[in-house]
């Protein structure tokens, strides 16, 4: 499953594959630069931690134990990224700093 979400400065794609791989990709609109943001602290705090109860995400994608857990991550990610206030106030400013490094 895949859901595209449009932000102000970035577009987002939330993915959950049949192999139970969960990933969030951000694309900066100004230059089309892409980055998987699954392991960024702001994403872990809002999306990963509430479902998986962990802050340790070493990779840019997550291999989840079962499809229902992956679906829960997917649904929460879509809901969170559709919160335009949170995206514009927190996530996009965080991404601006991360992308500039």
CB 84 within 8 A of CB 91: no
Q: What is the pLDDT of residue 89?
A: 87
Q: Quick one: average pLDDT of 16-29?
A: 95
Q: What is the pLDDT of residue 83?
A: 95
Cα–Cα distance, 86 to 80 (Å, whole number): 8
Q: What is the pLDDT of residue 78?
A: 97
DSSP E strand stretches across the chain:
2-6, 10-16, 21-28, 34-36, 62-63
- Coil, strand or helix: which one is 55? coil
Model confidence pLDDT, tens digit, residues 49-70 = 999 998 888 889 999 989 999 9
Going from N- to C-terminal start, the domains of the chain cover: 2-100
Q: What is the pLDDT of residue 100?
A: 60
Q: Quick one: average pLDDT of 90-98?
A: 85
pTM of the model: 0.91
């Amino acid at each position: 499953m895949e859901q595209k979400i449009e932000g102000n400065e970035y577009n987002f794609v939330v993915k959950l594959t049949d192999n139970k791989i969960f990933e969030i990709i951000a694309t900066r609109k100004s230059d089309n630069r892409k980055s998987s943001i699954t392991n960024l602290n702001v994403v872990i705090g809002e999306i990963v931690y509430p479902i998986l109860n962990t802050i340790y995400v070493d990779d840019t994608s997550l291999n989840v134990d079962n499809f229902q857990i992956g679906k829960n991550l997917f649904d929460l990610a879509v809901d969170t990224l559709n919160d335009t206030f949170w995206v514009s106030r927190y996530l996009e400013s965080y991404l601006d700093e991360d992308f500039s490094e």
